[in-house]
């Protein structure tokens, strides 16, 4: 390959974060160090997800480590890797994990100024089927004088300083956005061991005839949801029905919706009146990504998802997120029922 075909301007996530920090003269570098620990966790989880398939299926050495511990389930490994990365960066005070009933407070870092919520391996039930799973995260900066308690992270998504996810698909795809910023996609290049900027400034199409919802819950849906989904499947005269795409792994469904457009929905329903997906580490982080990419995200009361305040760290919510015009259709149908 001629030297003129070699790209020497390789924007790694590491470089991207350094350049971001340089834009904020008051930055101390704490956020950058936190994100370096975060990206390491994603690289490690990606490695173990790909290895686990071999280990589980072929029983290759490694199914039990030297001390004879049982093979940890992958979501436990993902959780342990994430907690270790967040603890060791000395920049996180409060950590919420889907895998941990209680909030983790790092007492060894009383002056750390960040709180992180995460689902280390969201959709892990799909792992054995080879379906893409992912890590979803949200980052909050603690208020001045915060004592480091779970109240410090029960905040609306508008308080997040950054959020995003990493999808472990054919390659590891990381999507990250800062408060009020753009959405940037990175692909893990195992040769460099770095996430490379492959999708700068991601923008979701304003509309797209794709809907993503578990229709197996139709029996439990509220009337507005039924009417809305039926309007996509049985359009008025001359309309073309929407395509249905549902993977059942939020990160995979979200990534497709972000790239192609359309709508993803997990409505609250009669079976799950508060919804199924968690606010802190599924709904809010995804909502900020979608809003910053030009989309919308609302809960089942049609409130802006980022303004929903969790009372408890594992609180759930209904969610509709995606292309602006698609979410607007949901809002319009619900408004008919609110009169």
Please give the residue ranges that form the binding site for ligand P6P (CB under 6 A). Answer: 122-123, 125, 214, 248-250, 253, 276
What span, in angstroms and rounded, lies between the C-alpha atoms of 194 and 267? 37
- Residues with Cβ within 8 Å of residue 207, at least 6 apart in sequence: 261, 323, 324, 325, 326
Closest approach, Cβ 134 to ligand P6P, in A, equals: 8
Partners of 141 in the beta sheet?
A: 114
Task: Name the residue nearer to ligand P6P (CB basis): 152 or 253.
Answer: 253
Task: Name the residue nearer to ligand P6P (CB basis): 250 or 298.
Answer: 250
Task: Name the residue nearer to ligand P6P (CB basis): 18 or 125.
Answer: 125
Closest approach, Cβ 83 to ligand P6P, in A, equals: 20
Closest approach, Cβ 286 to ligand P6P, in A, equals: 10
Task: Name the residue nearer to ligand P6P (CB basis): 148 or 295.
Answer: 295
Closest approach, Cβ 161 to ligand P6P, in A, equals: 24
Closest approach, Cβ 305 to ligand P6P, in A, equals: 15
Closest approach, Cβ 84 to ligand P6P, in A, equals: 23
Task: Name the residue nearer to ligand P6P (CB basis): 148 or 318.
Answer: 318
Task: Name the residue nearer to ligand P6P (CB basis): 123 or 285.
Answer: 123
The token pair at 125 is 């039930």
Phi, psi for residue 204 in degrees, rounded to 5: -80, 135
The token pair at 299 is 């809960």
What span, in angstroms and rounded, lies between the C-alpha atoms of 22 and 28? 10
What span, in angstroms and rounded, lies between the C-alpha atoms of 44 and 254? 22
Closest approach, Cβ 191 to ligand P6P, in A, equals: 30
Task: Name the residue nearer to ligand P6P (CB basis): 276 or 334.
Answer: 276
């Amino acid at each position: 390959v001629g030297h003129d075909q070699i790209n020497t301007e390789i924007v790694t996530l590491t470089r991207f974060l350094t350049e971001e920090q340089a834009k904020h003269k008051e930055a101390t570098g704490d956020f950058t160090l936190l994100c370096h620990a975060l990206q390491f966790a994603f690289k490690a989880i990606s490695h173990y997800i790909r290895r686990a398939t071999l280990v589980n299926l072929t029983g290759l050495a490694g199914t039990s480590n030297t001390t004879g511990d049982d093979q940890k389930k992958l979501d436990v490994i993902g959780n342990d890797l994430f907690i270790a990365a967040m603890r060791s960066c000395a920049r996180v005070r409060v950590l919420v994990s889907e895998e941990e009933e209680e909030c983790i407070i790092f007492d060894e870092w009383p002056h750390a100024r960040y709180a992180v919520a995460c689902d280390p391996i969201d959709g892990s039930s799909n792992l054995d089927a080879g379906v893409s799973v992912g890590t979803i995260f949200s980052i909050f900066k603690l208020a001045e004088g915060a004592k480091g308690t779970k109240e410090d992270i029960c905040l609306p998504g508008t308080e997040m300083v950054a959020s995003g996810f990493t999808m472990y698909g054919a390659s590891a795809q990381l999507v990250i956005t800062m408060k009020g910023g753009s959405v940037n996609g990175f692909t893990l290049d195992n040769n460099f061991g770095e996430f490379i900027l492959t999708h700068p400034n991601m923008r979701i199409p304003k509309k797209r005839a794709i809907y993503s919802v578990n229709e197996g819950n139709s029996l439990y849906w509220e009337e507005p949801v039924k009417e809305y989904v039926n309007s996509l499947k049985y359009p008025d005269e001359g309309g073309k029905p929407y395509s249905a795409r549902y993977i059942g792994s939020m990160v995979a469904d979200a990534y497709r919706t972000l790239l192609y457009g359309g709508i993803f929905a997990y409505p609250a329903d009669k079976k799950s009146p508060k919804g199924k997906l968690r606010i802190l580490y599924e709904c809010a982080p995804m909502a900020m990504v979608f809003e910053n990419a030009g989309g919308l995200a609302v809960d089942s009361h049609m409130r802006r998802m980022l303004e929903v305040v969790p009372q408890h760290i594992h609180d759930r919510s209904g969610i509709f997120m995606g292309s602006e015009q698609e979410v607007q259709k949901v809002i319009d149908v619900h408004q008919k029922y609110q009169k």
